[in-house]
């Protein structure tokens, strides 16, 4: 019988949840509730990676995409005194970054790792140059009390009362899963990422599909950045994405390039942070703050060390497509 780590994690999580819930339902609910805001930006950023890599483009510039989108979302939201406009602008910023990555990797056929690193460095440069203090957005996106769903016992309090971007993001993740595995777009995208010349000979334009997907992925990166600035934190600081774009890549790999797998991995990540925070609050453990900061980074490395070599990335990943070399 094949041992699947993911099933093991899911089942033991449910059992653990049941145990803790029976011990202290309020604290347990609140821990799981707070896991979601930890998980969501990671999950959305991982979707950026899934979309790009499934069509064969390695995107290591997710961090930069989120950073610069959070920046524009926050500052234009503050200047226009309208967070919805800020959200729109944040998403459009992501689109632009996605287009830039497309040009660099698809048209110029730049090394994809270098292209992504450059996006990160440019994002850090431009946001720290243009950064100004004393800007405020009118408010963050208010939580939504889900009708009906919110009244379900046990689960209701956990899934209800999150902000609109959270729900939008979760809907997107499930939608992406359907699109990737059940629609022509998904079949074509996966073919392009595995064996682009097959898709090309079947009349699918490799270049056009890669542009489309990397650009849409940019928009998702913009959504993730906007979420941080407009819903989760409500401020912008230099470099405040704090490596989430890289952790997301590990989550994507751990989730085997599958949207739902990556979402589950992100939830696991978020839960581990929420639990750590709760332990700190309860003073159950005395860990220096710096070690708590380190936790997601160490987890990222551990996850990669465990899953790399066992998972199979899209075969055409990282390789520019040369049409005349079929």
Partner 1 sequence: MTNLLDVERLSKRFGSVLANQEISLSVKPGEIVALLGENGAGKSTLVKAVIGLVKPDSGTIRVKGKELPYGDTAGAIARGIGMVHQHFQLVPVMSVTENLILGDEPTKFGLIQMQKARRETAELSKRYGLAIDPDAIIEDLPVGMAQRVEILKALRRDVSLLILDEPTAVLTPQETDELLEVLRNLASKGVGILFITHKLREVMAIADRVVVLRNGKLVGVTSPKESSESQLAQMMVGREVVLHVEKGPGNPTGAALEVRELEVLDDRRLEAVRGISLQVNAGEILGIAGVEGNGQRELVEAICGMRNRRKGKVLVAGKEVPNLKPHEVHAAGVAHIPEDRERHGLVATYSISDNLVLNRFDQEPYAKGWIRDLDAVARNGDELVRRYDIRTPNASAPASSLSGGNKQKTVVARELSQNLPVVVASQPTRGVDVGSEILSLSDRVAVLYGGKIVATFDSKLANRDEIGRLMAGSEGSRS
Partner 2 sequence: MAIMQRVKLQSLSIPLLSLLIAFVVGSILIAMQGSNPLLAYQVLFTKAFGSVEGFATTLAKATPLILSGLAVAICLRAGLFNIGAQGQLISGALASAWAGYSFVGLPFLIHIPLALLFGAFFGSLVALVAGLLKAYRGVHEVITTIMLNSIVIALADYLASTPFKEPDQPITRTPKIEESARIPDIFGLPLGFFIAIAISLAFWWLMRKTTTGFRIETIGRNRSAGWYAGISVKRVIISSMLLGGATAGVAGAVETLSITGRFEPAFNAGLGFDGITVALLARANPLGVIPAAILIGGMRGAASTMQFRAGVAPEIVDLVLALILFFVTAPILLRLLKRKEEGISLSSGWSN
Binding site for partner 1 (CB under 8 A): 178, 182-184, 187-188, 190-191, 194-195, 197-205, 312, 315, 323-324, 326
Taking CB under 8 A as the criterion, the residue among 14, 16, 121, 281 binding partner 2 is 121
The span of 80-88, 104-112, 152-160, 204-212 binding partner 2 (CB under 8 A) equals: 104-112
Q: Is 55 helix (H, G, I), strand (E, B) or coil?
A: coil
Choose the one of partner 2, partner 1, none that binds residue 249, judging by a C-beta under 5 to 8 angstroms depending on kind. partner 2
Q: Is 241 exposed, middle or buried (0-12, 13-18, 19+ CB in 10 A)?
A: buried
Between 24 and 201, CB nearer to partner 1: 201
Taking CB under 8 A as the criterion, the residue among 50, 60, 158, 265 binding partner 2 is 60
Q: How far is the CB of 102 from partner 1 (least distance, A)?
A: 20
Choose the one of partner 1, partner 2, none that binds residue 290, judging by a C-beta under 5 to 8 angstroms depending on kind. partner 2
Choose the one of partner 1, partner 2, none that binds residue 184, judging by a C-beta under 5 to 8 angstroms depending on kind. partner 1
Binders in 231-250 for partner 2, by CB under 8 A? 242-243, 246-247, 249-250
* One character per residue 184-223, x = contact with partner 2 (rule: CB under 8 A): ----------------------------------------
Q: Is 12 exposed, middle or buried (0-12, 13-18, 19+ CB in 10 A)?
A: exposed
**Of residues 243, 273, 241, the one with CA closest to residue 33:** 273
Q: Is 175 helix (H, G, I), strand (E, B) or coil?
A: helix
Taking CB under 8 A as the criterion, the residue among 5, 281, 285, 305 binding partner 2 is 305
Q: Is-contact 100 110, C-beta < 8 A?
A: no
The per-type count for the chain, helices as H runs and strands as E runs, is 13, 0
- Token digits for 84? 């919805």
Between 81 and 323, CB nearer to partner 1: 323
User: What separation in angstroms does the CA of 200 have from each of 127, 206, 210, 241, 318?
Assistant: 39, 6, 12, 37, 17
Between 30 and 197, CB nearer to partner 2: 197
**What is the spatial distance between Cα 149 and Cα 267, in angstroms, rounded to a whole number?**
19
- Three-state SS string across 21-42, please? HHHCHHHHHHHHHHHHHHHHHH
Cβ partners under 8 Å of residue 15, min gap 6: none
Dihedral angle sign, alpha carbons of residues 50, 275, 235, 145: positive
In the block, residue with structure tokens 């708590």: 292
Choose the one of partner 1, partner 2, none that binds residue 246, judging by a C-beta under 5 to 8 angstroms depending on kind. partner 2
Q: Is-contact 251 44, C-beta < 8 A?
A: no
Q: How far is the CB of 84 from partner 1 (least distance, A)?
A: 28
Please state the φ and ψ torsions of residue 144, each to the nearest 5 degrees. -110, 130
**What is the spatial distance between Cα 192 and Cα 7, in angstroms, rounded to a whole number?**
29
Choose the one of partner 1, partner 2, none that binds residue 187, judging by a C-beta under 5 to 8 angstroms depending on kind. partner 1
Q: How far is the CB of 194 from partner 1 (least distance, A)?
A: 5
Is residue 79 close enough to count as binding partner 2 by CB under 8 A? no
Q: How far is the CB of 313 from partner 1 (least distance, A)?
A: 11
The span of 15-23, 174-182, 199-207, 296-304 binding partner 2 (CB under 8 A) equals: 296-304
Angle, helices 259-281/25-54, rounded to nearest 10 degrees: 140
Interacting residues toward partner 2 by CB under 8 A:
58, 60, 104, 108-115, 117-118, 121-122, 124-126, 128-129, 131, 242-243, 246-247, 249-250, 253, 288, 290-291, 293-294, 297-298, 300-301, 304-305, 308-309, 311-315, 317-319
């Amino acid at each position: 019988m094949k041992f699947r780590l993911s099933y093991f994690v899911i089942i033991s999580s449910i059992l653990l949840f049941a145990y803790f819930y029976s011990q202290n339902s309020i604290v347990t609910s609140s821990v799981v509730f707070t896991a979601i805001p930890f998980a969501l930006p990671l999950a959305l950023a991982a979707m950026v990676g899934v979309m790009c890599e499934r069509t064969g483009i390695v995107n290591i510039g997710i961090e930069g995409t989120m950073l610069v989108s959070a920046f524009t979302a926050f500052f234009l939201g503050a200047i226009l005194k309208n967070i919805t406009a800020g959200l729109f602008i944040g998403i459009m910023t992501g689109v632009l970054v996605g287009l830039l990555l497309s040009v660099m990797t698809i048209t110029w056929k730049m090394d994809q790792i270098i292209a992504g690193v450059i996006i990160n460095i440019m994002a850090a440069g431009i946001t720290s140059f243009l950064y100004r203090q004393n800007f405020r957005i009118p408010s963050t996106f208010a939580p939504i009390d889900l009708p009906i769903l919110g009244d379900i016992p046990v689960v209701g309090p956990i899934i209800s009362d999150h902000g609109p971007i959270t729900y939008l993001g979760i809907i997107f993740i499930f939608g992406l899963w359907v699109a990737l595995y059940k629609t022509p777009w998904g079949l074509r995208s996966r073919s392009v990422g595995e064996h682009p010349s097959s898709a090309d000979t079947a009349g699918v334009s490799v270049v056009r599909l890669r542009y489309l997907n990397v650009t849409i992925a940019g928009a998702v990166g913009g959504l993730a950045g906007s979420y941080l600035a407009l819903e989760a934190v409500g401020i912008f600081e230099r470099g405040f994405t704090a490596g989430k774009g890289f952790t997301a890549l590990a989550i994507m790999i751990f989730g085997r390039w599958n949207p739902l797998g990556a979402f589950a991995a992100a939830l696991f990540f978020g839960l581990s942070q929420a639990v750590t925070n709760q332990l700190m609050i309860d003073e159950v453990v005395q860990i220096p703050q710096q070690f708590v900061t380190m936790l997601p980074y160490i987890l990222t490395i551990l996850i990669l060390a465990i899953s790399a070599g066992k998972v199979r990335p899209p075969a055409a990943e990282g390789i520019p497509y040369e049409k005349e070399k079929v």
